[in-house]
C-alpha cells in the first residue's frame, strides 16, 4: 500500500497489526493496492494527468476529466516511483456516444466501446449529425485514442461495396449477406442499395446470412429436403 493510496483511502497505517512470518507467508500476494476508481493523480516531472480505473492508471485530458465530473484541481501528487508501481492503460477516451472532431482535421468520430469509429460522409448524413453535437478536441489528443473502423449504417440499410456485387442488410451494427433469392424473397429493390467504399464495407463486421421472410418455403439445393421458415427458425417437413 503506497503512502499516497493510504492517504487517498483514509487508511491509518499506524493501526497495522504484527503477525508471524509463517502467517504472512501463507497469504497470497496480489498486485499493489491502488486508489479508488476515478482518483486523479499528477506524477512528478510529468505534465500529463492520470485517472485510476480498476487499479490501472490511464492518461486523461482535462476535457475527459470534466466530462466525467472530475477535476485536475483535486489531483494527488505522486512520485515517479509510485506511478511506476501500476499498470499503464490506454488513454482514456470521452464517454461512449460522444461525437468529436479535431480542430484542424475535419474527420468526425463516434466514441463506442471506448474506441473511435469514423463517420463516412454517408453515415454522417444518415444520422443527421448537427454541428452542436460535435465536440472539438485538439488533434494531438485525438491521435492518442484507439480507433476501430467506421460507424455502421443504421439498421435495415442496404449496402454494397463499390467493387463487389454482394448486397448486405445492416442489423445491430453487423452486415448480413443477401443472396439473390433472399433479396427477391424480401421484396427488396436495388434502388435502395447504398454504394459505399470498399474500405468502409470491408471494415464492417459480417454477420450470418439474412433470413427469409416469415412462412417461406425453402428447399436444400443438395438434398432436396423441404423446410418452412417460421418464427425465426427452419422447420423440416
Q: What is the average pLDDT across 177-197?
A: 92
pTM of the model: 0.76
Mean pLDDT of the chain, nearest integer:
91
C-alpha dihedral (138, 143, 144, 148), degrees to nearest 10: 130
Res 220: pLDDT: 82
Res 36: pLDDT: 93
- Extended strands (E) in 61-204: 76-78, 99-102, 108-112, 115-118, 134-137, 147-150, 158-161, 167-171, 174-178, 193-196
pLDDT tens, residue by residue, 127-177: 999 999 999 999 999 998 999 999 999 999 999 999 888 999 999 999 999
Would you say residue 196 has pLDDT above 90? Answer: yes
Q: What are phi and psi of 176, to 5 degrees?
A: -110, 120
Res 59: pLDDT: 93
Q: Are 202 and 168 in contact (CB under 8 A)?
A: no
**CA dihedral sign, ordered 156, 132, 142, 43:** negative
pLDDT tens, residue by residue, 22-41: 999 999 989 999 999 999 99
Widest distance between CA atoms in the chain: 80
Q: What are phi and psi of 51, to 5 degrees?
A: -130, 140
pLDDT tens, residue by residue, 48-92: 999 999 999 999 998 999 998 998 998 999 999 999 999 999 899
Amino acid at each position: 500500500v503506497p503512502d499516497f493510496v493510504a492517504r487517498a483511502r483514509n487508511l491509518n497505517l499506524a493501526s497495522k497489526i504484527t503477525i508471524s512470518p509463517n502467517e504472512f507467508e501463507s497469504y497470497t500476494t496480489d498486485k499493489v493496492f491502488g486508489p479508488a476508481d476515478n482518483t486523479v493523480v499528477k506524477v512528478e516531472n510529468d505534465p500529463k494527468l492520470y485517472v485510476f480505473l480498476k487499479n490501472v492508471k490511464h492518461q486523461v485530458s482535462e476535457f475527459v476529466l470534466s466530462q466525467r465530473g472530475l477535476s485536475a484541481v483535486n489531483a494527488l501528487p505522486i512520485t515517479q516511483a509510485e506511478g511506476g508501481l501500476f499498470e499503464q492503460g490506454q488513454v482514456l477516451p470521452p464517454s461512449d456516444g460522444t461525437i468529436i472532431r479535431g480542430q484542424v482535421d475535419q474527420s468526425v468520430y463516434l466514441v463506442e466501446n471506448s474506441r473511435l469509429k469514423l463517420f463516412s460522409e454517408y453515415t454522417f448524413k444518415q444520422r443527421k449529425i448537427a454541428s452542436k453535437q460535435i465536440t472539438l478536441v485538439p488533434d494531438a489528443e485525438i491521435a492518442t485514442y484507439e480507433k476501430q473502423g467506421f460507424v455502421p449504417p443504421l439498421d435495415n440499410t442496404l449496402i454494397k461495396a463499390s467493387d463487389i456485387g454482394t448486397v448486405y442488410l445492416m442489423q445491430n451494427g453487423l452486415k448480413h449477406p443477401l443472396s439473390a433469392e433472399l433479396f427477391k424473397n424480401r421484396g427488396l429493390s436495388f434502388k435502395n442499395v447504398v454504394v459505399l467504399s470498399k474500405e468502409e464495407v470491408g471494415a464492417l463486421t459480417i454477420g450470418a446470412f439474412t433470413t427469409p421472410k416469415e412462412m417461406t418455403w425453402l428447399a436444400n439445393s443438395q438434398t432436396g429436403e423441404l423446410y418452412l421458415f417460421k418464427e425465426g427458425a427452419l422447420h423440416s417437413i
